Amino acid sequence: MFKYIGIRGHRGAGKNTISYLLAVALDYYTRNNSWDGFEQVYNDAVERVLEDESFLAESEFKNVFFESFADTAKVVLNQITGIPTDYMYDDWHKEAVIVDLKDFSFDTTKDKLMLGSLKEERRLYTADELMEKVKAVDIFKKEEHIYLTLRELIAYFSKYVMQTFFGRDVWIKSLENNKWETERFYASNKTVYKIFIDCKFPSEISYIYKNNGCIIKITRDNNMKSSTNISSELKDDDRFDYEINLD
């Protein structure tokens, strides 16, 4: 039996962190049917979150796995651009990888000062800005370089490119068509949790509820990001079951 859990929240609110810690707890209890000894396991998990940027991408649990409506988009982008898929799940790399759409070359650094210099030297588009530009002119012929952060590239491709030409529910349909490849590896007589780590659109919230799941909203008032965040699509959708405030 599969139980669906959707995580929603603004960019930078802590969705990946909460998803991981929730998975640690659910996996521990379903394997042990007890919380005995969990405190040390939890403390180790928190330490890993603080020290290891790839904590989510490299996680392995027996009874919990992560889903994302954008998983297919990230796989396709990896094939097109050569950018490692792991980068697309890591908040630092989403901001620190700068991609040139003209030739799919990209630069990245872990040095914050150098990253700041890279961003200052280049005219960076947001997904929204690039879409408006594309509508107005043939930017790919006019511009020598078209720079975006990896985060904005994922947004541009998953929302504007694919949803424009394949419909608003393209990623839900992709998930449905491929979910049996994942689910067949799990026994049907036990509880397995699917954590959808970043619900961005009302249709995705509806999908979770359609599968008898629940929604957890993550808030961090002091870390609201810009309106270019695709999660702003949910600003008029107040559906959630639990709320975690990280302030």
209 is written with which tokens? Answer: 């509820």
The amino acid present at 4, given as its one-letter code, is Y
How far apart CA 39 and CA 132 sit, in angstroms, is 50
What string of pLDDT tens digits covers the 247 residues of the chain? 779 999 999 877 888 889 999 999 999 998 899 999 999 999 999 988 887 766 766 567 888 888 888 888 899 999 999 999 888 888 788 889 999 999 999 988 877 778 888 888 888 999 888 988 887 777 888 888 999 999 999 989 988 888 888 888 898 988 888 776 566 655 555 778 999 988 988 999 999 999 999 999 998 876 555 444 545 578 788 899 999 998 7
Q: Which two tokens stand for residue 210?
A: 């359609």
Give 157's DSSP letter: I
Query: Phi/psi at 176 (nearest 5 deg)?
Result: -60, -40
Looking up tokens 């872990």 gives 110
3-class DSSP state of 215: strand
